Amino acid sequence: MSLTVYFREPHVDPDYPPQYEAQAQPGDVLMRVGLSLGLDNLAADCGGNLTCATCHVIVDPVWASRLPPMSEDEDGMLDYAAAERQPTSRLSCQITLTPELDGLVVDLPPTQY
């Protein structure tokens, strides 16, 4: 079973449909899915080792509560994100996709540096 995730750029009105759509499999990591799209506002410099915070995304509030809670390490690293941290900010390398996340929408921050 494949699932679909959506990415939206920072300058876009939240009411506007997301611009980037990707097909993924359960078990895929959101950061890797985003990188496969070549998104400008996603870097993931540490390759998912939770040491860079350049994979910062802001989860659409509709979806935020459906994600597993973040770990203490993710919480701490998010404080180093270049763009201002938002209530639904997450590190995309820490989000493993499940069938329940089919349709997930995330916003990209204005910068990762």
Residue 84 to residue 28: CA distance in whole angstroms: 27
Q: Which is nearer to ligand FES, 2 or 77 (CB)?
A: 77
Selected from 5, 22, 31, 58, the binder of ligand FES by CB under 6 A is 31
CA torsion 15-21-22-24 (nearest 10°) is 40
Task: Single out the segment in contact with ligand FES by CB under 6 A; choices: 22-30, 33-41, 46-54, 98-106.
Answer: 46-54
CA torsion 32-35-41-44 (nearest 10°) is 50
Selected from 91, 95, 97, 108, the binder of ligand FES by CB under 6 A is 91
The reply on whether position 50 binds ligand FES by CB under 6 A is: yes
